[in-house]
A and B are shown apart, each in its own frame.
Chain A
Amino acid sequence: MSAEPLSKPESYQSGPDSMGHFGQFGGRFVAETLMPLILEVEEAYYKYKDDPEFRTELEGLAKDYVGRPSPLYYAKRLTEELGGAKIYFKRDELNHTGAHKINNTLGQILLAKRMGKKRIIAETGAGQHGVATATVCALFNLPCVVYMGETDIKRQAPNVFRMKLLGAEIVSVTSGTATLKDAMNDALRDWVANVEDTFYIIGTAAGPHPYPEMVRDFQSVIGIETKQQLQQAEQQLPDAVVACIGGGSNAIGLFHPFLDDENVKIYGVEAAGRGVDSGLHAASLTGGQPGVLHGNRTYLLQDEDGQITDAHSISAGLDYPGIGPEHSWLHDIGRVSYVSVTDDEALEAFQLCCRLEGIIPALEPSHALAFVTELAPKMNKDEILVMNMCGRGDKDVFTVAEALGVEI
């Protein structure tokens, strides 16, 4: 285990090192059978990430197929209601397929194609990453197998059907606790057995190196655009940026371009479920400890024997007992503040956003928004806050109705 630099690093953007470490976090904790393939993915990623032809194809599709750049929108009514900082939404919920997830799946499938892979697998919790993967598989005519926990299949029925319409095969995962972590286990099991022809599109900034770095890079378009757009609108950097965290891909995508702008305060919002003290939550940084799972060292929810415990959140997309390793590092060195928001607070924010802004947010960014309602009033009126609206709420209307006791 490498020593943790507790002093301030020269740049917060320089990680990971060549072994995939962000401080003590990250790494490559996978079975030997997978190692040659993981090294092959790393090599291919470094070969293509700045390749002009790769960039042109990725950026062309991001523009014409996904609809990038997503707008940076001044949420006037919310700003007035909260009476503090000026609030902007980065509108990644307007992307094709309704969330930020497609920024990453597009990048990874272009890599998979160049590596000559013939089959795509993915894990999904809320179904958003599954849909984004099934979408690019349809676009590139590759067979797609999505692993999804039995529990999630039940609570995210619309996305299950969308994936099927897009031609994906859904495998219902019943092992372990039948949620996202088990879906990831089964996807890894599939990969071990199909190393020759299969590419695993991981849906968040976690997993063995190079995934946390690669997913971050593909999602960084969010922060890069935000910087440019805010420069144009306000001729300045934001004072604060806020994003929700499941595995941490939309958040690191927004945060990374701002890490070395030290006057920008950065907040990551974890899901506190029914409260961190209740034990029923998904706040790995707030309520977990460092450990090793799914190919990386990071903060994990676990018991005193090092067994991984179940996460709980009303939002299926945040319901994961781990977090990307770069966030664990940013947490330990204190560059990013990580906070948490309960199911109830997220539901409140969800409704507020519908009424004030005419935007039905996904339950995931509703967590970020709940924190914004706390933070913005404490900031000055001439300060600027940007929140990543990373997904739309169409998929969640059934869950919200049930939580509010409404029959639809």
Chain B
Amino acid sequence: MSVSNRINAKFAQLAKQKRAGLVTFITAGDPNLDVFEQILAKLPEAGSDIIELGMPFSDPMADGPAIQLANQRALKNGMTLKKTLAAVAKFRKQDQNTPIILMGYYNPIFHMGVQNFVEQAREVGVDGLIIVDLPVEEDDELCHPARTQDLDWVRLVTPTTDAKRLSKILKNSSGFLYYVSIAGITGTASAKGSNVKKAIEDIRKQSSLPIAVGFGIKTKEQVQQTAQYADAVVVGSAIVNKIEQAKADNKTAEQTCEAVISFVRELSSGLS
């Protein structure tokens, strides 16, 4: 199946099922490569419709404490961008349908070499990219090379985005849009539903791309609420926190994996 089709097919399937999708975020290599790969393998059956994988970075400037710690755990245990790509390749052997979006910061990619990265990403079965520190002003860096390889370029739309800026943002966006429901970093406050709903309606006037909503969504109830107006709901820090909690409680690898997977199961049960 060609790359961008996995995302399109997923949203088409969700539309047919008349439900919103669940996007789960975890950091690649968190808490270590082994446990991470076990978690990754089980995410689809637990109800994750789209998998967002954080590429660990030493300086995750747009992330709150939970995901910062996840980055540190992964890096401390030797995670690298190459290993992240290898983990995707391994996952694709078992799962041909669940879209994978890599999310992160530009420097490790720039350091690897943009062309090298986009070719490998496509080859291992990555479907799209969310690069936090590449706004439209820097589209020549990675957005254009990625689109050339049929990797989707998923952009963030935020509460600070006005109508004029939105049209710029939409220009090279593909796959879906990610509406960040609060002006802030990951894992902090939750947004007011009414504001988000209004913002989504405004975006829909200008774009037919599916819209995922994330930031500050922590519970099954919040997932259900958000699903009323979003095409997909993103949960990140709350999932990552389960790993931190398991570590604090000295849980085994199996228990850590189970803690994450049962939480994802609970979140997705609100969407059927």
Contact = CB atoms under 8 A, between A and B. Distances in A.
Interface of A: 1-2, 19, 27-37, 175-176, 181-182, 185, 188-189, 192-193, 195-196, 289-295, 297, 300, 302, 304-309
Nearest 6 A/B pairs, CB to CB: A306-B111, A306-B108, A193-B184, A307-B58, A33-B158, A305-B80
B183 A32 contact: no
A76 B17 CA distance: 84
B107 A32 contact: no
B9 interface: no
A189 B111 contact: no
A175 B69 CA distance: 8
Interface in B146-172: 155-162, 165, 169
A1 B57 CA distance: 22
Nearest to B82: A305
Contacts of A181: 59
Contacts of A292: 105-107, 110, 133
Nearest to A289: B111
Contacts of B160: 32-37, 195
Interface of B: 56-62, 64-65, 68, 72, 75, 80-82, 105-112, 132-138, 140-141, 155-162, 165, 169, 180, 182-185, 188
Given A30-B133, A189-B61, A308-B107, 11 more contacts: A2-B140, A28-B137, A31-B61, A32-B155, A32-B156, A35-B137, A193-B183, A290-B110, A300-B107, A305-B81, A306-B108
* Most central of B59, B75, B106, B160 by chain A CB within 10 Å: B59
Contact of A176 (B59, B158, B161, B184): B59
A234 to B, nearest CB: 45
B120 to A, nearest CB: 14
Nearest to B135: A35
B110 A291 contact: yes
A185 B111 contact: no
A28 B134 CA distance: 8
A189 B133 contact: no
B106 A29 contact: yes
Contacts of A27: 137-138
Contacts of A293: 59, 107
B140 A1 contact: yes
Nearest to A29: B133
A306 B110 contact: yes
Contacts of B158: 31-33
B138 A29 contact: yes
A300 B110 CA distance: 12
Contact of A195 (B58, B140, B157, B183): B183
B183 A192 contact: yes
Tell me which of B105, B107, B180, B182 has the highest count of chain A C-beta atoms within 10 A of its own C-beta: B107
B156 A291 contact: no
A334 B198 CA distance: 53
24 contacts: A2-B140, A19-B137, A27-B138, A29-B135, A31-B132, A32-B156, A33-B156, A33-B180, A36-B161, A36-B162, A185-B59, A185-B60, A188-B61, A189-B62, A189-B64, A193-B182, A291-B107, A294-B59, A304-B111, A305-B81, A305-B108, A305-B111, A306-B111, A307-B56
A287 to B, nearest CB: 15
A306 B59 contact: no
Contacts of A29: 106, 133-135, 138
Interface-centre pick from A196, A305, A308 (highest chain B CB count, 10 A): A305
Contacts of B80: 305
Nearest to A308: B58
A31 B57 CA distance: 15
Nearest to A2: B140
Contacts of B75: 307
Contacts of B185: 189, 192-193
Nearest to B68: A175
Nearest to B133: A29
B68 A306 contact: no
Nearest to A196: B183
A31 B107 CA distance: 14
Nearest to B114: A1
A32 B111 contact: no
A188 B60 CA distance: 10
A121 to B, nearest CB: 14
A309 B60 CA distance: 14
A36 B68 contact: no
Nearest to A33: B158
A213 B163 CA distance: 29
B114 to A, nearest CB: 8
Contacts of B112: 306
Contacts of B81: 305-306
Nearest to B185: A189
B103 to A, nearest CB: 12
B183 A33 contact: yes
Contacts of B105: 292
Nearest to A35: B135
A176 B68 contact: yes
B188 A193 contact: yes
A302 B107 contact: yes
A179 to B, nearest CB: 11
B139 to A, nearest CB: 11
A30 B141 contact: no
Contact of B165 (A1, A36, A175, A295): A36
Contact of A295 (B82, B133, B136, B141): B133
